[in-house]
């Protein structure tokens, strides 16, 4: 049995701010690279931009016609962000002038589930949809650069390797597909081992990838000499797992979103603790800022919180 400890004080992790984010479920969030802005989105069809210090709403992005599935800031341009939606469109925005989107991309034949900016090519965005298709877009030329089919099932989420962007990880049903960051062609066979559908992916700056299904979290290594080697697993012993993010100040600490709670897992010692009553609903998404060392959480309880 994995060792557990009782108090979040061991990790020095606690809530520092919260706000009502929406009148409907909130399911996605991200923090800008400078840590000054937070974006949230969900079932009310709009994304909300927030300042992080203090946590206050700044503006709303309201051009989507269906629920928003993902929101991501550009790693190289803190005021540039993109949103994806069930309406099959991907939109790019300027956070300083968010009344209208800068670009709208169409071409997916199914609901777009997730998106991400290439970490060192500021004009490239990738997106995936509920038919298992991954598309790469140019924000300069407003067109599709590449389109590949990764699976026959839903592509739930995708994330680029931070900083270098050599690979693009896509979760589809019970497997993680590792694609080339430039061509989106599969680099290797899928990463398998989950017994239930993967709901969330996150990458650490130290070349580790976490995949989360409701009953387990698996850690894969992309460090030198490794190409997706399975290295750690945490099995659920309470509330189902759903979302994840690596702590910005402690890369061996994974924050996991569950139903009403957060799980903090220290990979080095394989120790974990549970923060009960973190939210009043499913913690649907988490984001982190290395600049401010904030972790953001959003939930079906319609609340956004900052932790530190």
> Torsion-angle region of residue 76: left (phi > 0), alpha (psi -120 to 50) or beta?
alpha
Tell me what the mean pLDDT of segment 229-257 comes to: 93
- Overall average pLDDT of the 77-102 stretch: 96
Tell me the pLDDT tens digit for each residue of 247-291: 999 989 999 999 999 999 999 989 999 999 999 999 999 999 999
Query: In the chain, pLDDT over 90 holds for what percent of residues?
Result: 87
Q: How far apart are CA 163 and CA 247, in angstroms?
A: 17
Q: Can the peptide bond before residue 49 be classed as cis, meaning omega within 30 degrees of 0?
A: no
Q: Which residue has the tokens 């600490």?
A: 253
At 189-225, the pLDDT tens digits run 999 999 999 999 999 988 999 999 999 999 999 998 8
Question: What's the rounded mean pLDDT across residues 231-243?
Answer: 92
* 39 alpha carbon, distance to own chain's centre: 12
> 210, 218 in Cβ contact below 8 A?
yes
Q: Which CATH class is domain 8-307?
A: mainly beta
Confidence band for 7, pLDDT divided at 50, 70 and 90: very low
Inform me whether the pLDDT recorded for 9 exceeds 60. no
Which one-letter DSSP state was computed for residue 191? B
- Whether 6 shows a pLDDT value over 50: the answer reads no
Which sequence spans correspond to the domains of the chain? 8-307
pLDDT at position 140 is 87
Look at residue 105 and give its three-state secondary structure. Answer: strand
pTM of the model: 0.95
User: Is residue 52 a contact partner of residue 36, using CB atoms and an 8 Å limit?
Assistant: yes
CA–CA distance, 202 with 280 (Å, rounded to integer): 23
Encode pLDDT of 287-298 as tens digits: 999 999 999 999
Residue keyed to tokens 């270098």: 164
118-128 residue pLDDT tens: 999 989 999 99
Query: 94-105 burial by CB neighbour count: b if 16+ within 10 A, else e?
Result: ebeebeebebeb
The pLDDT score that the predictor gives to residue 136 is 96
Determine the average pLDDT of the residues in 82-104: 96
What is the DSSP-derived secondary structure letter of residue 141?
T
Strand order in the sheet with 55-61: 26-31, 37-42, 47-52, 55-61
pLDDT at 11: 63
């Amino acid at each position: 049995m994995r060792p557990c400890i009782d108090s979040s004080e061991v990790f020095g992790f606690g809530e520092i701010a919260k706000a009502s984010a929406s009148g409907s479920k909130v399911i996605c969030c991200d923090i800008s690279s400078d840590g000054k802005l937070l974006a949230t989105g969900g079932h009310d069809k709009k994304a909300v931009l927030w300042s992080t210090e203090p946590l206050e709403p700044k503006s709303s992005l309201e051009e989507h016609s269906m629920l928003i599935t993902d929101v991501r800031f550009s790693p190289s341009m803190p005021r540039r962000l993109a949103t994806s939606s069930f309406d099959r469109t991907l939109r790019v925005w300027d956070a300083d002038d968010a009344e209208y989107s800068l670009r709208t991309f169409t071409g997916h034949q199914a609901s777009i589930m997730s998106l991400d900016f290439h970490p060192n090519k500021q004009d490239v965005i990738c997106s995936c949809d509920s038919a298992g298709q991954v598309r790469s877009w140019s924000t300069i030329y407003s067109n599709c650069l590449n389109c590949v089919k990764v699976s026959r099932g839903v592509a739930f989420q995708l994330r680029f390797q931070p900083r270098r962007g050599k690979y693009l990880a896509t979760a589809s049903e019970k497997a993680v597909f590792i694609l080339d960051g430039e061509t989106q062609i599969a680099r290797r066979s899928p990463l398998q081992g989950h017994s239930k559908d993967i709901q969330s992916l996150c990458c650490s700056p130290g070349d580790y990838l976490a995949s989360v299904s409701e009953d387990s979290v698996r850690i894969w290594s992309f460090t030198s000499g490794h190409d997706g080697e399975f290295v750690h697993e945490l099995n659920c012993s309470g509330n189902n797992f759903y979302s994840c993010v690596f702590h910005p100040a402690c890369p061996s600490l994974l924050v996991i979103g569950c139903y009403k709670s957060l799980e903090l897992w220290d990979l080095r010692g394989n120790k974990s603790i549970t923060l009960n009553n973190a939210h009043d609903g499913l913690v649907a998404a988490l984001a982190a800022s290395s600049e401010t060392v904030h972790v953001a959480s959003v939930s079906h309880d319609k609340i956004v919180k900052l932790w530190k």
